Amino acid sequence: MKSLIQISKFLSLILRHQPETIGLKLDDNGWANIEELIAKTNQKGQRLNRKLLDEVVTTNDKQRFAISDDGLSIRANQGHSLQVDLKLVAKQPPEVLYHGTATRFVTSILETGLQAKSRQQVHLSSDIPTAIKVGKRHGKAIVFTVAAQQMYTDGYLFYLSENQVWLTEKVPSKYLQQNN
C-alpha cells in the first residue's frame, strides 16, 4: 500500500491540476464526486478506498483537502492551476503576511514581485515558520514579508482558504521586504 504522503501527492495532482489523468471531471467549484474519484483511481491501477481517502484528508498536516458537508464530494482547498471558483469571500488581511521561497528566486521576485504563474493565486502564510517550511520545499529557504494591510488599503483583494492559507492575485515588489 502506498504511503499517505504518496496518496496526498496523487490527490493534489488530480484535484488541483490534472483530473483528466484519470478521466475525472471537477465541477466549477473544484468538487469531485468521491465515489467516482475512487473508482477512476482504482481503474488506473492506484489503490484507493473511502477509509484511506478519509485518513489522508484528516491527517494531512497542511489540510489540503476538504470533504463536502454531505460527505459525497472532495476538493483541494487551494493551489489550483485549473480555473475553479472556490467561492472565497474577500477578507481584510493582517498587517503583514509572509511568503517562503528558495534563494534562487530572490532576484526575479525583487524585480517582478510575486506572481501566481501556473496557479490561480499567490500563496501567503500568516507566520514565518510556515513560510520557511514552504520555502524549503524548493531549496534553501528565504522569507519575504508582505505589507498586506497596505496592499489591502491600496485596493488589492485577499482571501483566506479553508486551510488558513492567504491568497491574492499578485504582490508587486514594492510591498515586499526580504528577511535575512
What would the pLDDT profile of 11-35 be if each residue is shown by its tens digit?
Answer: 999 999 999 999 999 999 999 999 9
In this predicted model, what pLDDT tens digit does every residue of 57-67 receive, in sequence order? 999 878 889 99
Res. 1 pLDDT band, cuts 50 70 90: very low
Instruction: State how far the Cα of 136 lies from the Cα of 118, in Å rounded to an integer.
Output: 20
CA distances from 53 to 1, 69, 96 (A): 13, 16, 35
Count helices and strands in the chain by DSSP H and E runs: 6, 11
Residue type, 27: D
Q: Is the dihedral of CA 123, 126, 127, 129 positive or negative?
A: negative
> What number is the average pLDDT over the span 87-106?
95
Task: Check residue 157 and give its pLDDT.
Answer: 97
3-state helix, strand, coil in the chain (%, to 5): 35, 20, 40
Task: Check residue 123 and give its pLDDT.
Answer: 93
Domains assigned to the chain: 4-76 (1.10.10.970), 97-178 (3.20.170.30)
> What number is the average pLDDT over the span 88-105?
95
108-123 CB burial, b ≥16 within 10 A, e <16: ebeeebbeeeebbbbb
Average pLDDT, the chain: 93
Res. 162 pLDDT band, cuts 50 70 90: confident
Name the residue among 78, 74, 68, 86 with its Cα closest to residue 29. Answer: 86
Res. 45 pLDDT band, cuts 50 70 90: confident
Q: How many CA atoms lie within 13 A of 137 on its CB side?
A: 7
pTM: 0.76
